[in-house]
Structure formats: C-alpha cells, structure tokens
Amino acid sequence: MAAAESPSAALRRRDLCSRGIRLAGKMRADVVDLLDAYVEQQGLDASASVAAMEGVPLAAVERWDEQTGTQRLLENLAAYRAFRTLLAQMLEEQREQLGEADAGLGRALAAVLLQVSAFAYHLEELLRLESRGIPGEEGDGPPPPPRLSLFEQKLRGLGVLRELAQWAVRSVRDLRQLGKPSSAAGTAPGLAESP
C-alpha cells in the first residue's frame, strides 16, 4: 500500500506535471513544424509509411489507461533519452550531408534536441519526487545505427520525428494522469470514468 502523499509533495507534483504538460505541448508544436520542414528538405513523401526501426521508441501502447504512474514516468524517460541520442545522430548526419547548406533545418533539429533533453531532465525530477531511483543510462540508448544509405537515413529520420511527435502527445496525457489530485506515481491507475 502506498504511503499517503504529503500536501507539499502533492503540490510539487502537480506543479511539475503542469510545467511538463506545457513543455511537452511546446515540444510537440516544434516537432510538427520540424517534421514538415524535414519532409520538404529531404524530398520525402509526407504520407510515406515507415516501418518500425530498431532503437526508435514506439509511442504506441496497449491498455494505456491501466498503467501506473511509475510505469508512465519510466517509459517516458526511456523514450526521451533514446530520442536525445537519435536526434544527436540526425544532427550529425545532417551536417555531414548538407554542411552549412541547410542551417535552418540544423538549427530546428538542435532546438528540438534541447527541448527533448530538458524534458528528460524534467521527468527525472518527477521520478525523484516520487522517491524513485533514476535508472542509469548505460545500455539505455539505441544501438549505434548500422551503416545506412542516404535514403535509409532520411527515412529513419522521418520515423524518429513522427514517433517523437506521438510521444509528445502521449507525454501530455501521461502527465495529466499523474497530475490528478487523486494520483500518486506508485498507486493504482485511475481508470477513466465512462459515462
């Protein structure tokens, strides 16, 4: 049975969740803009299907409403740590391919990378608040990408940004669940009340 949360901890949690929701919302808007720019600059078809790629965390989840708060935080943290590495790889590839020719896209990628890093830190704060140990990052990141062709790199980048956009929405929903007054991370999930 989870210990009752102190009022100050509950307030702090709700505050962190509210700020996290705003961060995730801004991040999502920027990722969507970046996605549009990326598709255009890379000459891709926006409607192209991209198969799931190794190392890219999938936002899709079954029984989302049954997750505990801790599960939500841990899965979010793992995902954004992976995205941090993936975006850094994309930025490097971008510089190699285009050099300074596409500084705008590079800047946009760097800005999103910064937001992803900030959000990962924010999630760590929430985990600390829940007195949960922060999982180490060793072996957490995606494996080093196999040597991909230029086109495969572009498709992978498309997949990364798409999943990141989905994760941003999922994170908003997760934090909203966490921020509910009745919710504390380790307790049983609050199942949605259906009319």
Partner 1 sequence: MRSWGHPKDSGLMANPVPSACCVVLAAVVVVYAQRHSQQDSHIQYERVGADVTMKCGSMDWDAAVTWTANGTDIDESHLNGSYLILKNVDLSQSGQYSCYEGSSWHLKYQTYLRVGTPPKEPVLMCRSNNYPKGFYCSWHLPTPTYIPNSFNISVIHGTKDMVCEKDAIPKNRCHIRYLQLFSTVKYKVTLTVTNALGKNFTTLTFDEFAIVKPDPPESVVAKPVPNNPRRLEVSWQNPSSWPDPESFPLKFFLRYRPLILDQWQHVELSDGTSHTITDAYAGKEYIIQVAAKDNDIGTWSDWSVAVHATPWTEEPKHLTTEAQITETTSASTSSFMAPPTTKICDKGAVVGSGAMAVCWTAGLVVAAYSVLFI
Which residues sit at the interface with partner 1, rule CB under 8 A? 25, 28, 49-50, 58-62, 64-65, 159, 162-163, 166-167, 169-170, 172-173, 176-177, 180, 192-195
- With respect to partner 1, which residue has the nearer C-beta, 6 or 47? 47
* Rounded Cα distance, 32 and 165, in Å: 7
- With respect to partner 1, which residue has the nearer C-beta, 33 or 65? 65
* Rounded Cα distance, 159 and 152, in Å: 10
| Minimum CB distance to partner 1, residue 180 (Å) | 7
| Minimum CB distance to partner 1, residue 168 (Å) | 9
| Minimum CB distance to partner 1, residue 14 (Å) | 14
| Minimum CB distance to partner 1, residue 193 (Å) | 7
Exposure b/e, 56-68, CB count within 10 A at least 16 = b? bbebeeeebeebb
| Minimum CB distance to partner 1, residue 42 (Å) | 18
Both tokens assigned to 70: 């801790």
- With respect to partner 1, which residue has the nearer C-beta, 66 or 96? 66
Q: Give the SS3 label for residue 56.
A: coil
Which DSSP letter does residue 143 get? P
- With respect to partner 1, which residue has the nearer C-beta, 106 or 142? 142
Q: What angle do CA 140, 49, 102 make, to 5 degrees?
A: 75
Q: What angle do CA 86, 92, 94 make, to 5 degrees?
A: 100
- With respect to partner 1, which residue has the nearer C-beta, 62 or 100? 62
